Amino acid sequence: MIDRWRLHGHAIVSDDHCIAAADGTVPPGLRNDADWARFQAALDAAVVTVLGRRGHEANPNVKGRGRIVLSSSAEGIERRADTWWWNPSDAPVEDALARAAPAGGIVAVPGGRRVFDFVLRLGFDEFHLVRAAGVAVPGGIPVFSAVADGLSPEVVLARHGLSPAPTEVLDAAERVSLVVWRRRA
Ligand SMILES: NC(=O)c1ccc[n+]([C@@H]2O[C@H](COP(=O)([O-])OP(=O)(O)OC[C@H]3O[C@@H](n4cnc5c(N)ncnc54)[C@H](OP(=O)(O)O)[C@@H]3O)[C@@H](O)[C@H]2O)c1
């Protein structure tokens, strides 16, 4: 059905599994140059990026990449001046991807939480989980809603059919590391 596209999630999380503070801002501890370079390269390699409206507003599409913004304000799938907008309640994911990236390819999914929850149900092909060790964001926004039930992101990914590759250190001094989780065959 959506075989033409491969869904790759990307998140950098704190020790308490958060992607941002409660107000949606990203604390300095979750910003890292090595991770940012890796993340930008991943976006360049993708045919389209799928993200939530708040993330879109916080990170305008200055490079003019293909982008789909999820929002309840969209009517189905809309082409607005800045990019594609999509309301999943009105139109299926296949239609949104077919409009924005008809040839298929890698779809980068940088969240936030509700977008990650949504794509978990569809099925990630890969999830690039970066950890910033020693960083805490008390009361912040967790990467997946299931974190609130006491589950780590690793448990959530394993329960959704993904397996971890070996840990890759991105920045030893800042203790930032990456694990790519891939769908089990
Ligand atoms: N550390 C990281 O790796 C990381 C990852 C992602 C995001 N972030 C940061 O975290 C901040 C906040 O993230 P967030 O999770 O609060 O917000 P978000 O996902 O960026 O945006 C949330 C908004 O997206 C729309 N949305 C999401 N899922 C939807 C669905 N299924 N149907 C309809 N609309 C949907 C809604 O917009 P409407 O209100 O318009 O309906 C919702 O209010 C962002 O500003 C970003 O900078 C960090």
pLDDT in the model for residue 83: 95
pLDDT in the model for residue 63: 92
Please tell me the distance between residue 79's alpha carbon and the centre of ligand 1 in angstroms. 19
Residue 71 near ligand 1, beta carbon < 6 Å:
yes
pLDDT in the model for residue 116: 98
pLDDT (mean) for 19-46: 97
Over the chain, what is the mean pLDDT?
Answer: 97
Residue 141 near ligand 1, beta carbon < 6 Å:
yes
pLDDT at 175 over 90: yes
Distance, CA of 48 to CA of 174 (rounded, Å): 30
Beta strands at 176-183 and 77-79: parallel, antiparallel or unpaired:
unpaired
pLDDT in the model for residue 133: 98
65 within 8 A of 81, measured Cβ to Cβ: no
Distance, CA of 91 to CA of 28 (rounded, Å): 36
Residues written for the chain? 185
pLDDT (mean) for 63-72: 96
Distance, CA of 120 to CA of 88 (rounded, Å): 14
Structure tokens given for 51: 């993200």
122 within 8 A of 7, measured Cβ to Cβ: yes
Please tell me the distance between residue 73's alpha carbon and the centre of ligand 1 in angstroms. 13
Structure tokens given for 46: 């993708």
Residue 145 near ligand 1, beta carbon < 6 Å:
no
Q: Whose CA is nearest to atom 12 of ligand 1?
A: 24
pLDDT (mean) for 9-36: 97
9 within 8 A of 124, measured Cβ to Cβ: yes
The band of 185, judged by pLDDT with boundaries at 50, 70 and 90, is confident
pLDDT in the model for residue 33: 98
Please tell me the distance between residue 42's alpha carbon and the centre of ligand 1 in angstroms. 19
Give residue 156's identity as a one-letter amino acid code: V
The band of 1, judged by pLDDT with boundaries at 50, 70 and 90, is low
The band of 36, judged by pLDDT with boundaries at 50, 70 and 90, is very high
Please tell me the distance between residue 119's alpha carbon and the centre of ligand 1 in angstroms. 13
For a ligand 1 pocket test, name from 39, 40, 54, 170 the mutation site with the most ligand atoms within 8 angstroms of its C-beta. Answer: 54
The band of 2, judged by pLDDT with boundaries at 50, 70 and 90, is confident
For a ligand 1 pocket test, name from 115, 118, 178 the mutation site with the most ligand atoms within 8 angstroms of its C-beta. Answer: 115
ω into 112 cis (within 30 of 0): yes
The better pLDDT of the pair 165, 1 is held by: 165
pLDDT at 124 over 80: yes
